[in-house]
Amino acid sequence: MSQQIFFAHANGFPSGTYGKLFAALAPEFRVTHLEQHAHDPRFPADDNWYNLVDELIHHLQQQSQPVWGVGHSFGGVLHLHAALRCPQLYRGVVMLDSPVLTRTDQWVIRAAKRLGFIDRLTPAGRTLGRREEFADLESARRYFAGKSLFRSFDPECFDAYLHYGLHQDGDRLRLRFDPATEISIYRGVPHTSPGRLRQLQVPLAVVRGHESRVVMRHHTSSVGRMPNGEALSMPGGHMFPLERPQETAVLLKNLFERWTSRQQRDCA
């Protein structure tokens, strides 16, 4: 019987973009996900992502068993906060290039919000004014292929982004992930936490991309000191799950196999 993963995507990247990763996890793992976080009017994007953690918990409560929570970037932080609040919903959490913020990080974020420079601290500033619509698929392909963020994407993941990240709007293609929502998510990056990391009751792994400019070494140091924490790394940058989906799947399978064996020994 396959084990269940609940996946949470990076900001702006609908879950369908990760289809190659999901396929590589089968048949041992069945992946469940929301297609787009923060697009349910019941759970609008807010400061510190309280509503978005509520949204995730709401859907986790509908699952038949505790899950392996896997999240990329924004999605990893959602899983961490949800697991601190509701550990009974999880078997463990894996954050793929998601920062575990220190108290200093949180203080800086709080100050940036109050003093009005949060757009310089997060990608919100780069997202403002970004192109939202395209005449056709080829013009969209040329546009995104020219962006450094997409330069190392696995070709199938890049095609998946064009398919799931755009939708037909009249005679043009528009971004499916609402740009205003994406900006709100960046601006609301949490400067608070529902609990201290050492209070987490399930295993946690943070996997950093070697060339990541989002997750720094100090973001993973506290995880490595946890009894059930692991700080790991993968080749690639912040987008490594979409650059190396099959290698990411192998890492996840090995990690969950190790955690399962440990949990079985603890229960013996």
Q: Using CB atoms within 10 A of its CB, is residue 40 exposed (0-12), middle (13-18) or buried (19+)? A: middle
Q: Could you tell me which residues come within 8 angstroms of residue 85 by beta carbon, excluding any fewer than 6 positions away? A: 53, 57, 194, 195
Tokens of 150: 């997409």
Query: How many Cβ atoms sit within 10 Å of the Cβ of residue 120?
Result: 10
pLDDT of residue 243: 98
b/e 159-180 (16+ beta carbons within 10 angstroms → b): ebbbebbbeeeeeebbbbbbbe
pLDDT of residue 266: 77
- Helix 155-165 to helix 137-145 angle (10° resolution) is 130
Q: Which run of H or of E encompasses 251?
A: helix 245-267
Q: Could you tell me which residues come within 8 angstroms of residue 37 by beta carbon, excluding any fewer than 6 positions away? A: 8, 9, 52, 55, 56, 74, 75, 78
DSSP strands (E only) in 75-210: 90-96, 133-134, 166-169, 172-175, 204-209
Q: Could you tell me which residues come within 8 angstroms of residue 261 by beta carbon, excluding any fewer than 6 positions away? A: none
Q: Could you tell me which residues come within 8 angstroms of residue 83 by beta carbon, excluding any fewer than 6 positions away? A: 69, 89, 90, 93, 200, 201, 202, 204
- From the list 95, 75, 105, the residue with the least C-alpha distance to 206 is 95
Tokens of 210: 């070697």
Complete domains list, the chain, with CATH: 3-267 (3.40.50.1820)
Report pTM: 0.96
Q: Using CB atoms within 10 A of its CB, is residue 142 exposed (0-12), middle (13-18) or buried (19+)? A: exposed
Among left, alpha and beta (phi > 0; psi -120 to 50; other), residue 215 is: beta
Residue 67: phi and psi, rounded to 5, are -120, 160
Note whether 230 and 224 are within 8 A (CB).
yes
pLDDT of residue 216: 86
Question: Distance (Å, rounded) from C-alpha 48 to C-alpha 245?
Answer: 29
Tokens of 187: 């601006």
The one-digit pLDDT tens for each residue of the chain (268 residues) are: 789 999 999 999 999 999 999 999 999 999 999 999 999 999 999 999 999 999 999 999 999 999 999 999 999 999 999 999 999 999 999 999 999 998 999 999 999 999 999 999 888 877 777 789 999 999 999 999 999 999 999 999 999 999 999 999 999 999 999 999 999 999 999 999 999 898 999 999 999 999 999 998 888 888 988 888 999 999 999 999 999 999 999 999 999 999 998 888 777 6
